[in-house]
Amino acid sequence: MRPTNLVLLAVVLAAITYAPAAYAHCDSLDGPVAKAGERALESNNLDYALVWIRPEAETELRAAFKQALAVRTLNKEARELADRYFLETLVRLHRAGEGEPYTGLKPKGTDLGPAIPAADQAIRSGSTNPVAKLITEATTRGLRERLQRVMATRKYNANDIAAGREHVETYVAFLHYVERLYVEVRGDASESHQHENH
């Protein structure tokens, strides 16, 4: 397979395999949403946080920001509670804008796996090379492992129904995996949705 094709497949694998980590990234105190909220609080400029939410959530975030600013000056404990309240509101509204549930604010140091830190590094450096390498290797490994399962079960006795079913299971799993990768690379949301329903 050509390197270009592997990279395209790799992008898909990242979307499929690392989606939970990406969500955790948005939910964590290390993530860009919470950092934007902290910057908004420290600078008294809500605009840093507003870019992370949809316009229809702006009224609620403005109210939370105003409350947090009023309370956080009282003392250290009040500041911590006010900041936490504002950051939780911001992350919850951000998640709602993505159509995802809010499951709480994750602590700093949450393990995000290798993909999200690599993607952040790519943004900082302007180079996709480390991300492409990471994802290409993961995609190649995923394809190889699934194909090996198919090949290992391919030759079975026609009278051995259990062995035949095992082969069919590995065959179907491989085809669905490849199809999901291809659909994601193409970016055809309607086809992807139809496949999931099927």
Which tens digits make up the pLDDT trace of 104-119? 888 888 887 888 888 8
CA-based nearest residue to 117, from 105, 130, 126, 108: 130
φ/ψ (deg, to 5) at 2:
-70, 150
Render the burial of 80-94: b for 16+ CB within 10 Å, e for the rest.
Answer: eebbeebbbbbbbbb
Q: What's the pTM value of the predicted model, to 2 decimals?
A: 0.62
Helices within 18-128 (DSSP H only)? 19-27, 32-43, 47-50, 58-71, 76-97, 115-125
The mean pLDDT of the chain is 83
pLDDT at 12: 41
Per mean pLDDT, which range of 73-77, 104-108, 168-172, 184-188 is the poorest?
A: 184-188
The predicted-structure confidence for 157-166, as pLDDT tens digits, reads as follows 999 999 999 9
φ/ψ (deg, to 5) at 46:
-65, -20
Query: Residue 67's Cα: distance from chain center in Å?
Result: 31
Q: Provide the residue ranges of all domains of the chain, joining segments of one domain with +.
A: 19-97, 125-197
φ/ψ (deg, to 5) at 28:
-95, 155
pLDDT at 81: 96
Residue 43's pLDDT band, with cuts at 50, 70 and 90, is: very high
Amino acid at 5: N
Share of the chain above pLDDT 90, in %: 54
pLDDT: which is higher, 3 or 31: 31
- The answer on pLDDT for 10 being more than 60 is no
Sign of CA dihedral 132, 137, 140, 146: negative
